[in-house]
Structure 1
């Protein structure tokens, strides 16, 4: 029978584990009843129970476990199951390890481990633990090893803490080691961005300068060209005069080409974009390339199947590829291989950033590549190749405008240009154009080859030109063609003539002129007349006056300076003929079967332009917006406050209110609510620097919020129902409903 609890005093055992040892049924184990234990076993148990450090005794061949209070805490959920249990059954997950311990120590040896890592299931789940372990044999009464004493000190917390300190020192070392490189990389990246910004600013400044120069240059060339052509007409039988005129005319044409190249770089050239099939384009250039490059240059083309179409000016695209080919020929110094390739490319964000250096957006592109086997260029030359007048050729062998023209054309077309070159391995230039999903038209008929015989007429033409010499030259040419000519030196004088009742058949006006009324506004006023007055615009530098993204708006005809007499004759005749045809086809007869919408539109076109009440307290912003609205063809009344606006609205009707949201005194929103009670059909456009989600208080029916700075495209769209119509509100709503 087991020892009674009160018998422990005779053994000198005390503590919770002593009571458990005394109460345990040892008779069921190989150790036998506790009262029959030999002195050596009792002494070993007493030593284990008395120790403050975790101790466990493994007695006998199977290692029956007897442990103290400190080990019981270490055992976790395995206590008190481990008491009296063979060690391999108590800790089955480390049975092999403990078998080795028993073999060594029962053979008289010792073992010790520092931060031994084991996986134990102390609480029913695998757990990584680290321990300091010390094993030594326990002798029986005869001095032979009969058991094992194990000292178990868990070091898990210390090990984990140490690892974290190390799992931290390593990170600090890496940070320290890489900090210098990271700083260098950051500085390098910043320097590159700053360099790109400086380059972009420089190219923009050069573009503005070259565009202005081209404008003035074209005016000079126009005077020379016009007088030369008139001299040709006036002295048809003088061979010497004709010879000299021809030589001077060729010089003018060279000057015009230079001006066109300057405008191309400045991205101010008028483009005529159309859908282009790249395969047909390159194949159609074969003969032209062979003529330009000569027999010593071998031309290879690599065109991928099913190439995407692009939207670009076909003439300018051909010129760009031809310019690149001629540059490549010169770089190959008489002989080599020129490769023209075209491929479809889809760029993700990373690829767009890498290949476009921030100038490309992700998407689909058609890429033309022109590669030569020439001498190549060093980096310091590549950096400047797109700048106008930069050339590595000897004096007199190049203008330095070829690549700059290509650069401007590609950028104006919404694309990107990249160059890769190194000394000794040639050059590759890539032109990226956004993919167009539209089908290319049938190009069997090339209108560039169509010849129209210039014809004169007896109509009256109003010539508006601020440059006296250019104006007189135009008058002389038109008079020679048989037209009656009226002249005006600026937009204001032209407007007076147009409103005087003087019969005028065509407005021929320069785009860029001093004064508040430009050619673009004159053309809008002319289009609002009944019937509309046809307009032919002329300019050597259109800039942004009439172009949108380098493209002419529908219905606008533009003649580039310098123009030839025949060009002028052809354009004037075409515009007049087209206008006469359009008026004949566009008449609306009350007795015909015209729709209500057509009749309403006809009525609206005979009315004065709609009135926009502009309310803006900032004087500069107010004046700029007033000019924009006038350019749109609208009548504009301006006020600096809501109170002034209400006073104006009491004197005449208002169709559209365009007001800043934040005004001194009454707000723009309050003003809109007040005026809508007076004019229920009035449209409301609110401008605000707080974005389109700005708080306006009580909803305003039909109000549109425009974020400052106002995007003119969005403004134009918001005003679209009123553009080209009169003040008849009923007509406006009938048209909108249709």
Structure 2
């Protein structure tokens, strides 16, 4: 033969390309693009219908309109051409050419057909391999980017194929060979039976089920537990025997954890809603209680202020009558009873102001250990022999910021409550210590160093409802006439006013522990002033300007000042006092109320200090807001006796 050519046919079944051919010496290549119809109806029909075209002599067998010109144009005088028809379409052609007429023998035709069939098989195999490589590459890229592992179980040869990603799901390194046993060993014990059952159903010729199962694995090398979602199907032969099972595996640990979290949320939803509602109700109850306490504080503070103004002339007048011995024995007994009632009223008002956090405190650095140890004997003498009093206050305790007089009263109130809680006797422990208050402490105080004074008893204790109301004013469990119900509320108000806190721990039958938390002082303790007759007799003498908007208070205070040796000038307001001073009136002392209409006592004192430096000033108050008071200004609390006024003036003379 002179040429062997191979051609690919277009989808239109007409155009074809000879991409390459074999040519004998002196024969030109036929490579190029052609139209099948131009080679005549005989050639076109044979090719499209899958018949071998055999032409012995082109010139003798084909006419001018039967493709003669096209065959001779490429130097063909005899031809054997075999078609390849796939899926009803002419796909390719392979031909043997002769450049002269030739009587093709049957054996030659058979040989060409065998060669062509082998070539077709080779081309198909190469194409299939190429397509498979492309498909495998696409699958590999897809699997790698989708974090999907695949697996192939050869049932016949009992082998397992796992890529590195699938091995990683079982905690196995990429270069380690695996067997079917590795799969079984890596299954979580709780999931092994269900997984094996699903695989058995997939290889069963009768069931041929889809292998679709989620299971946990335990990493062979790292021990980690992972969730895997696996899917696959069995491949069966004609006899129904399962040859292999192939499929994919995806790690779904994150999804399973999210699903479990969601299930837990759903399972606890009702409980969490109930807790949220309970917390909200608790917060609302606390808010209502706070608002109620604040309203009561404002009310009692205002009432206490008026009471102090009423009690000041009563206490002062009774004190003078008692000192002067007015009347006979009967009158003195009546005056003494009135003094005791006035003192009780005075104590009640002080407790009301303490609860309202509006008492005029004079916080100083207090030696807590000395104060507590000093009160031990007093408390023990008032509790009786059935109660054992234990005092524990180390002498090296740092000082606290407090008003010593009010602190003594608070400890005394707590001790009385502890005594009353032990009608059958018991032990009362009064202790003091330092403690670092951290976040979420029971006192709810800012983080820092504090002193804790506690009064604990082994008495009857309190249940939860009683404990919740313990600091409410006028709430008492002692019965009618046995208590005012202001003891704990007074201590609570004092603690709050000193930037401290009050905490109570109690259980029925186990006793009560009340803790008073006070800020620690960075300065040395201040010695408390003592009131004695010598101080009362000592006076500065001179002219005193008395300023108060209450006429009765001015009258009683004026009598006291006159008894102490002062000549008194009275003013009913701060404005009137400034007018007197503006006239050039000389004064040695100014005694002024704090809370007055118009100019307050503190403002008056500030103006006097600017205009007349060195003038002695004493501020008298029964009610005051913190921000309205000058902390450096000496103060005397209403109501007061002559001796208390004398002591304050004596201290004033020492500092002026």
Q: Classify the TM-score, shorter chain.
A: 0.5 to 0.7
Which structure 2 residues correspond to residues 249-328 of structure 1 after superposition, within 5 A?
A: 249-301=339-391, 307=397, 309-328=399-418
User: 1:330-345 counterparts in 2 under 5 A?
Assistant: 330-345=420-435
**Alpha-carbon distance in structure 1 between the residues aligned to 2:395 and 2:560:** 51
Q: Which residue of 2 aligns with 1:68?
A: none
Is 1:493 matched up with 2:583? no
Contact 1:275 1:309 in 2 (8 A): yes
Deviation at 1:291, TM superposition (A): 0.9
Q: Counterparts of 2:634 and 2:424 in 1: how far apart (Å)?
A: 43
Question: Which residue does 1:447 correspond to in 2?
Answer: 529
Q: Deviations over 1:46-82 (max 9, x none)?
A: xxxxxxx998879989x7x9xxxxx9xx96999xxxx
* Structure 2 counterpart of 1:705: none
The equivalent of 2:57 in structure 1 is: none
Structure 2 vs 1, CA of residues 544 and 531 (structure 1 numbering), >3 Å: closer, same or farther?
closer
CA separation in 2, counterparts of 1:252 and 1:545? 30
5 Å-filtered alignment, 1:421-500, equals 421-436=506-521, 438=522, 440-441=524-525, 447-448=529-530, 452-456=535-539, 458-500=541-583
Secondary structure at the counterpart of residue 528 of structure 1? helix
The 3 A distance-change label for structure 1 pair 344 and 225 is closer
Corresponding residue for 1:543?
A: 625
Answer yes or no: is the 8 Å Cα contact 2:540–2:653 preserved in 1.
no
Q: Deviation string for 1:633-657 (max 9, x for gaps)?
A: xxxxxxxxxxxxxxxxxxxxxxxxx
2:104 corresponding residue in structure 1: none
* Pairs within 5 Å for 1:125-274: 130=230, 132=232, 134=234, 149-154=243-248, 156-157=249-250, 160=252, 167=257, 169-232=259-322, 235=325, 238-274=328-364
Residue 594 of structure 1 is matched in structure 2 by none
Distance (Å, rounded) in 2 between the aligned partners of 1:5 and 1:92 = 46
Superposition pairs of residues 367-378 of structure 1, within 5 angstroms: 367-378=452-463
CA contact (8 A) 1:386 1:407 kept: yes
Q: Once the two structures are superposed, what CA deviation does each residue of 1:178-231 show, in whole Å capped at 9, x if it has no partner?
A: 222222222221222222222222212111221222221122222122222333
| TM superposition shift of 1:252 | 1.8
The 1-side partners of 2:596 and 2:262 are apart by 67
Which whole-Å deviations, capped at 9, do the CAs of 1:13-60 have from their partners, x for residues lacking one?
A: 746565899xxxxxxxxxxxxxxxxxxxxxxxxxxxxxxx99887998
For 1:410 and 1:77, how far apart are their aligned partners in 2? 68
Match of 2:602 in 1: 520
Alpha-carbon deviation of 1:500? Answer: 0.8
CA contact (8 A) 1:506 1:576 kept: no
Unmatched segments (≥5 aa) in structure 2: 1-114, 133-149, 167-173, 186-201, 205-210, 221-225
1:526–1:532: 8 Å Cα contact kept in structure 2? no
Deviation string 1:489-511 (CA, Å, 9 cap, x unpaired) is: 11221111010112222111111
Instruction: Give CA deviations for 1:294-341 in whole Å, capped at 9, x if unaligned.
Output: 110122345689755432223322322222121111111140122334
Q: How big is the shift at 1:406? A: 0.7
Give the direction of change, closer, same or farther, for the CA distance of 1:518–1:447 in structure 2 (3 Å limit).
Answer: closer
Q: 1:392 to 1:448 in 2, by over 3 A?
A: same
The whole-number CA distance in structure 1 between the counterparts of 2:365 and 2:317 is: 39
Mapped to 2, the partners of 1:390 and 1:77 lie a distance apart of: 74
CA distance in 2, matches of 1:205, 1:470: 28
Deviation at 1:412, TM superposition (A): 0.9
Question: Higher mean Cα deviation, 396-405 or 8-17?
Answer: 8-17
Instruction: Say if 2:456 and 2:512, in contact at 8 Å, map to a contact too.
Output: yes
**1:281, CA displacement in angstroms?**
3.7
> Where does residue 16 of structure 2 map in the other structure?
none
Distance 1:387 1:197 in 2: 14
| 2:370–2:395 contact (8 Å) kept in structure 1 | no
Q: Deviations over 1:513-549 (max 9, x none)?
A: 12x21211111111112344321111222234643xx
Aligned counterparts of 1:372 and 1:391: Cα–Cα separation in 2: 17
Task: State the partner residue of 2:139.
Answer: none
Counterpart CA distance in 2 for 1:511 and 1:484 is 22
Tell me which of 553, 564, 568 is aligned to 2:631.
Answer: 553
Q: Tell me the SS of whatever aligns to 1:361.
A: coil
Cα offsets for 1:637-688 (capped at 9, x unmatched): xxxxxxxxxxxxxxxxxxxxxxxxxxxxxxxxxxxxxxxxxxxxxxxxxxxx
Q: Does 1:509 align with 2:579?
A: no
**1:563 correspondence with 2:645:** no
Assess, with a 3 A threshold, how the Cα gap between structure 1 residues 463 and 186 changes in structure 2: closer, same or farther. same
- C-alpha contact (below 8 Å) 2:413/2:487 kept by paired residues: yes
SS at match of 1:430: strand
State the number of aligned residues.
489
Kept in 2, the 8 Å contact 1:325–1:370? The answer is: yes
Distance change (3 Å), C-alpha of 1:493 and 1:132:
same
Aligned to 2:64: none
Q: Is the 8 A contact 1:512 1:545 kept in 2?
A: no
TM-score (norm 2): 0.64
User: 1 CA distance for matches of 2:311 and 2:263?
Assistant: 70
Residue 306 of structure 2 aligns to a residue whose secondary structure is helix
* Aligned match of 1:389: 474
Q: Which residue of 1 aligns with 2:143?
A: none
TM-score (norm 1): 0.58
> 1-side partners of 2:394 and 2:324: how far apart?
56
Q: In 2, distance between residues paired with 1:568 and 1:324? A: 29
The CA distance in 2 between the partners of 1:271 and 1:100, in whole Å, is 81
Specify the alignment match of 1:410 in structure 2.
495
Larger Rg over CA atoms: 2
Equivalent residues of 1:527, 1:534 under 8 A apart: no
Which of 365, 374, 379 aligns to 2:450? It is 365
Deviations 1:143-162 (A, max 9, x none): xx9xx9423122x25x74xx
Pair 1:385–1:227, CA change in 2 (3 A): same
Distance in 2 (CA, whole Å) between partners of 1:538 and 1:507 is 10
CA distance in 1, matches of 2:389, 2:652: 43
Q: CA deviation at 1:434?
A: 3.1
Q: Could you list the runs of 5+ residues in structure 1 that have no partner in the other structure?
A: 22-52, 66-70, 79-89, 102-109, 121-125, 140-144, 580-738
d(CA) in 2 for partners of 1:369 and 1:339?
Answer: 8
Please report how far the alpha carbon of residue 574 of structure 1 lies from its aligned counterpart in structure 2 after TM superposition.
4.4
Rounded to whole Å, the distance in 2 between the matches of 1:331 and 1:128 is: 67
Is the Cα contact below 8 Å between 2:538 and 2:650 reproduced in 1?
yes
Change (3 A) 1:17 1:265: same
Q: Is the 8 A contact 1:336 1:373 kept in 2?
A: yes
